[in-house]
Structure 1
Amino acid sequence: MATRYRFGLEEYERLFRGVKNVELLEGEVYRMSPIGPKHAWSVARLSRIFTEALGNQAVVWPQNPIRIPPHSEPQPDLALLRPKDYREALPTPEDVLLVVEVADASLDHDQGLKLSLYAQAGIPEVWVLDLKANRLHVHRAPKAGVYTEHRILLPGEAAEPLAFPGVRVLWED
C-alpha cells in the first residue's frame, strides 16, 4: 500500500533549496506551471504599478515564497508586505497585506487549493487575475477558511487594495 508523505517547512526548505518552480502546499510539493509572456508581463506591470504607487509603504514581493506554518510555502505571483527587512526570515501571513495570483493554466489551482490556504492563514485580500477570461477576481474578508467577499472586475474597472485605499489599479485587457 502506498502512502503520501507530508513535508514540514524545514524539511522542504532543506531538500528543495535551489529547485525552481516548486512550492509546498499543505505538506505536498507541487510543480508550478511554466510562465508564459502574458503572465510575465502581467506580473511585471503590477510590480511596477505597486512600486511606483506605494514607495516605502510596502514591500513589493514578486514570485517569492511566503511561509505559512506548519506545512505550506506558496510562491504567489506578487505580494504586498508590511515594510520591514526580510533578509533573515521569509514573510508569514501576518506580514502579508495582499496576494496576487496570475492564472493562465492554473486558475482552478489558484481559485481552489491556494485561495483556501490563504483564507485559512488569514491573509486579508487575494486577487486572482484570470488571463483566459480576462477578469480580475477580488477576494476579501477571510472567515472560517473561506473568503466571504468576492468581486469580479472586467477590463476598464479599477481595484483598490484594502490596505491602500486610493491606490487604484486599472484592470485592462
Structure 2
Amino acid sequence: MKATGFMGPCYAKAMATRYRFGLEEYERLFRGIRDVELLAGEVYRMSPIGPKHAWSVARLNRLFTEALGDRAVVWPQNPIRIPPHSEPQPDLALLRPKSYGEGLPTPEDVLLLVEVAETSLEHDQGLKLSLYAQAGIPEVWVLDLKENRLHVYRTPKAGVYTEHRILLPGEEAEPLAFPGVRIPWS
C-alpha cells in the first residue's frame, strides 16, 4: 500500500499474522515430537514433568483403573482431538469403553479429563479449561499440587463451566459419570 506524507511517498509495512495449524497438518508436521500439544491452532511446548507430577498421574491412573475396571478406558497422557484446531494431551482421561486404535478420542468419547498442575495451573485453568468447556466435555478435574487442592469443573454451557467446586485433602472426589465411585485423590 502506498502512502504519502510530508516527506514524500512511503510504503506501509504489512502486519505479521499468526499461522493456525489444523489437526491434520499438526499431526503430519509434529508426529513423533514429544512434549508439544495443539491448542486453538497454536503449538505449545508442555511443561516438564517432575517427580510429584509423575507420581500423581501414576497414582490416579491406578485408582481409576482399579475402581472402574472395564467400565471406562483410562487414557494417561495421551492426546484427544478437538476439531478443528486442538489436540491437547491431558494428564488423564476417562473414555467411553471402545477401541481407540484407529483414531484418537474426540469430546463425545470423554467422560472426565484430569490435568495435574505443578507449574501449569494458570494455563490449565485458562486456555485448556476454556477449550474443554467449548468442546462440551462434561467434567474436568485440575489437581493443584502446590496448594494440594482438587478443582472440579462441571456443566459446560456457552463455553464455560458453570459449576466449580474445590476439594481439600481428605475429601474424596466422585466422577459425574460414575456415581458412587469415590476417588481418594490426595
Alpha-carbon distance, 1:3 to partner: 1.5
For 1:1-20, list aligned pairs within 5 A. Answer: 1-20=15-34
Write out the 4+ residue segments of structure 1 that deviate beyond 3 Å after TM superposition: none
Alpha-carbon RMSD across the aligned residues, in angstroms, is 0.5
Q: Deviations over 1:74-103 (max 9, x none)?
A: 000000000000000000000000000000
Q: State how many pairs are aligned.
A: 172
Amino acid at match of 1:149: E
- TM-score, structure 1 as length reference: 0.98
Alpha-carbon distance, 1:166 to partner: 1.0
In the alignment, is residue 58 of structure 1 matched against residue 72 of structure 2?
yes
Counterpart residue number, 2:42:
28
Task: Name the SS of the counterpart of 2:154 in structure 1.
Answer: strand
In the alignment, is residue 144 of structure 1 matched against residue 154 of structure 2?
no
Counterpart residue number, 2:93:
79
Amino acid at match of 2:185: W
Alpha-carbon distance, 1:30 to partner: 0.1
Partner of residue 107 from structure 1, selected from 102, 105, 121: 121
- The gaps in structure 2 that reach 5 residues or longer are 1-14
- TM-score, structure 2 as length reference: 0.92
Larger radius of gyration: 2
Amino acid at match of 2:32: G
Check conservation: 2:116, 2:144, Cα contact below 8 A: yes
Check conservation: 2:41, 2:86, Cα contact below 8 A: yes
Mapped partners of 2:104, 2:114: distance in 1: 17
Mapped partners of 2:16, 2:77: distance in 1: 33
Check conservation: 2:60, 2:185, Cα contact below 8 A: no
Mapped partners of 1:75, 1:89: distance in 2: 15
